[in-house]
């Protein structure tokens, strides 16, 4: 039973480029969450999506960041015109129902480095 | 907004000792509290969770207690082993049920 998958695992971008991070939830899971982790800090919630819908994006920066979870294919977190402060580990998690008290299972993360 | 405070930030114990990590949360409507273990460069892995309808839950050497009145919950690890060394994060589900609010983590070091 494959777990949550993310790719790429490592991504290097120069300032001003775009970064696309992909997340495939566990089989049977239709709810995806994105979190950002800065070095030696906890995880910060960014966005929660169901298939084709953004449910809660209260943690997403207002500019340059967007997320989608299409009917087919993985969820995508897109960062336009990256800056050095975007360097972090980005984790996605999935849950089967997305209702309260459902366990979230995390992927291995994408480590983004902006030069 | 919702906030989770976690203490201590670092904890060093001898193998075989117990370790306790404490968290407090601000949103009285929170009703789900998971604990994650994260080894260096790895994903956070759920080790135990507790829901608001119980006060304590145990799984082998790991236990979690919840005090809803005081809005705090704790992780207890008994008979620690070197492989328990990692960063441990507590979290609380927000009122809307859409996001986990994490503490800043506790780096546990178990020396043999």
> Measuring CA to CA, how many Å separate B104 from each of A3, A115, B3, B65, B87?
25, 26, 10, 19, 10
Tokens coding B102: 């994490």
A53–B contact, CB cutoff 8 A: no
Q: What tens digit of pLDDT does each residue of A33-92 get?
A: 999 998 878 899 999 999 889 999 999 999 999 999 999 999 999 999 999 999 999 999
Chains A, B: CB contacts under 8 A, how many? 59
**Mean pLDDT value of segment B9-16:** 97
Q: Which of A17-21, A26-30, B33-37 has the lowest mean pLDDT?
A: A26-30
Q: What tens digit of pLDDT does each residue of B30-86 get?
A: 999 999 999 998 999 999 999 988 899 999 999 999 999 999 999 999 999 999 999
Q: How far is A31 from chain B (nearest CA, A)?
A: 10
């Amino acid at each position: 039973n494959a777990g949550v998958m993310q790719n790429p695992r490592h991504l290097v971008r120069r300032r001003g480029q775009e970064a696309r991070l992909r997340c495939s939830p566990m089989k049977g899971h239709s709810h995806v969450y994105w979190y950002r982790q800065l070095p030696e800090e906890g995880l910060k919630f960014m966005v929660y999506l169901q298939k084709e819908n953004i449910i809660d994006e209260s943690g997403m920066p207002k500019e340059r960041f967007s997320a989608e979870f299409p009917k087919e294919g993985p969820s995508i977190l897109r960062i336009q015109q990256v800056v050095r402060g975007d360097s972090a580990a980005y984790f996605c998690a999935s849950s089967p129902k997305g209702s309260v008290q459902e366990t979230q299972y995390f992927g291995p993360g994408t480590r983004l480095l902006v030069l | 907004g919702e906030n989770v405070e976690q203490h201590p930030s670092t904890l060093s114990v001898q193998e075989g000792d117990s370790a306790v990590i404490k968290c407090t949360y601000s949103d009285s409507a929170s009703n789900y509290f998971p604990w994650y273990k994260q080894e260096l460069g790895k994903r956070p892995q759920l080790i135990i969770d507790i829901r608001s309808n119980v006060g304590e839950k145990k799984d082998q050497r790991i236990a979690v207690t919840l005090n809803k009145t005081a809005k705090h919950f704790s992780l207890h690890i008994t008979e620690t082993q070197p492989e328990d060394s990692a960063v441990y994060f507590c979290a609380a589900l927000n009122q809307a049920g859409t996001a986990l609010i994490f503490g800043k983590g506790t780096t546990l070091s178990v020396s043999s």
